[in-house]
Amino acid sequence: MPERRLLSLETVLIVVAGLAACLAAVAVTASGPDPAELGLQATARTLIAGTPIAVGLYARRFVASARFGNLLIAAGFGWFLATLSESDDAWLYSVGRVSGWLVEIVLMYLILAFPTGRLSAGVDRLLVGATALIVLVLYLPTALLVEAYPLPSQWAECSDGCPGNAFMLVDSQPAFIDGVVRPLREILLVALLTAATARIALRVRDASALTRRAVGPVLAVAVFRVAVFAASQAGRRIAPDSWVVATGAWLVALTVPLLAVAFLVGVWRWRLFMASAMQRLATRLGAHPEPEDLRAGLAGAFQDPLLDIAYWQEDGEYWADAAGHEVAPPVATAERAVTEVSDGDRRVAAILHDPVLRDEPAFAETAAAYALMTLDNHRLSVQAGALLREVRESRARIQSSADDERRRIEHDLHDGAQQRLVALRIKLELAAERDGAMGGGSARLLRELGTEVEVALDEMRSLARGIYPAPLADRGLVEALRSAALLSVLPTTVLAAGVRRYPRDIESAAYFCCLEALQNAAKHARDATAVVVDLSDDGALRFEVRDDGMGFDPLGVTGGVGITSMRDRVAAVGGEVTIHSRPGHGTRVSAMIPLEDAPP
């Protein structure tokens, strides 16, 4: 809180000093040698000094324009010194006239440095330096050499009874002052003002929307001032006693408060733009923006199409774009400023943006907050995706292990237990024949045991086929389903279009899903007369099992182990199962398995 009290005291002191300067300007004007139309003159001089100070106080309330506001306040007090030209005292009058020359440097700086208070390019510094050079070389030294200052003046209303020059050090005024120096400096100053106006026009043309909004009013007043100043200087040479010259001098003086108003409009439009940009940004960015969404959102909200974001990669210690590709380290230039985003001591990102946003806390804080939120969301999304991939891979491994175990059991049954049962059946038959030949009574019993072994053998074969059918491994999905269709309780038709051989896990998932659907149709499809298995390959393996039974309401039925098994099997290879049914319209079990990574 002490800082806030200090700022408040500082503001109060500036206001008091500004009011004192305005009152002093009125008093000086009232005591001048030509008090005609005193009210109008006092009002004009008060506006010249007071308007820049008032606008500067408003601008310095905001961080982005605080530097410019302080400069404008200082310029306002400088223009107050120029109003001393209305005094009838030679010293005060001379101080006022010399101050009027010096404030041209300040005015040039303010025009080119708006709205940040900084000269953003070398050409701006060159123009301000050239203005200072002209004033210091062609204006200030003449104060020591001339008897009287040029009239009419934008800072003095007097025409005939003006005080003399209190700073003159020579006995007589050199002839080259009027013949060379004055015309040269006036031409050069007009040229510099024209160049500065052209420079502002180029900035407005090439700048972002924010700069155009702020600088546009300043450009309009600058063009007006150049035109009036040039006309006034030309009129002084052509018809120095004309009312046009005096009017031009007044208009040039009034461009000072007019420029201050243009600065005020620019700052106000800046604040309005920033508020709208915040609203647009909140609207554009959803709850979970991606890195590219953030870049596009910031660029669109602040109307800076060249805005870009580089993200710091801690693992490799390099900068990357939103796609993760390595980019050059972000470097600030005259056209691009860099705002770094940190999370505590951890470097996170760097935003390259319009330099006018460099000192705008609303932009920096909002962009940083959204960048951190986006990266957190992105990191959580990546982690969730990695976990999902691990779950899918784990499910696929479990399913593959189960299928391997199925094949092992089927192989053991076929080559182990099944072969032993066959051997046992043969041995029982041989034993029965031998016992019959020897006249024993056990032959019938042995043949009955052989029959039981034959039944057990058939059941074993059936079990082996159900565990992992040989046609699936040998001839593929379509032939395996056709073999299953021959054994189905309901008449079953298998249709296939473009279906080929696929990796073992995909064929296994599709086969057992269709087999489960066939078994469900046989058990639960009341009044069903037929089942169709339809397979196709259009870049993804699609299959559908449909019956013409009475159907059911899926919302009223809890999925059993069979449905869960179908979904788990297909999900293990990245697919999805959908069940469509309604009373009286049969049931359709459809599934899709992507084949992007499946080898041909």
CA distance 313 to 319: 6
Q: Which sign, positive or negative, has the C-alpha torsion 561, 572, 520, 454? A: negative
Say which CATH superfamily domain 475-594 falls into: Histidine kinase-like ATPase, C-terminal domain (3.30.565.10)
Tokens representing 575 are 């697919």
Q: What confidence score (pLDDT) does residue 6 get?
A: 41
**Degrees (nearest 5) of the Cα angle 429, 431, 434?**
110
**Predicted local distance difference test score (pLDDT) of residue 4:** 38
395: CB partners within 8 A, 6+ apart:
568, 571, 572
Q: How far apart are the C-alpha atoms of 292 and 311, rounded to whole Å? A: 11
pLDDT at residue 446, as a whole number: 67
Segments making up each domain of the chain, as ranges:
2-276, 291-386, 475-594
pLDDT value at residue 133: 95
60-107 pLDDT, tens digit each: 888 888 888 999 999 999 888 988 888 888 899 899 889 989 988 988
Contacts of 280 (CB under 8 A, 6+ apart): 300, 301
Q: Splitting the chain (600 residues) into consecutive groups of 10 residues, what average pLDDT does each group show?
A: 52 89 84 65 85 91 86 90 86 90 90 85 91 93 89 72 86 87 89 88 78 83 83 72 72 86 88 83 72 80 84 78 82 83 80 81 77 68 64 64 62 64 72 67 68 68 59 83 86 89 86 88 86 89 91 74 81 87 88 73
pLDDT of residue 340: 84
Q: Which helix (H) or strand (E) holds 516?
A: helix 504-524
Q: What pTM value is reported for the model? A: 0.60
Residue 393's pLDDT is what? Answer: 66
How far apart CA 110 and CA 129 sit, in angstroms, is 13
**SS3 of 452-480:** HHHHHHHHHHHHHHHHCCHHHHHHCHHHH
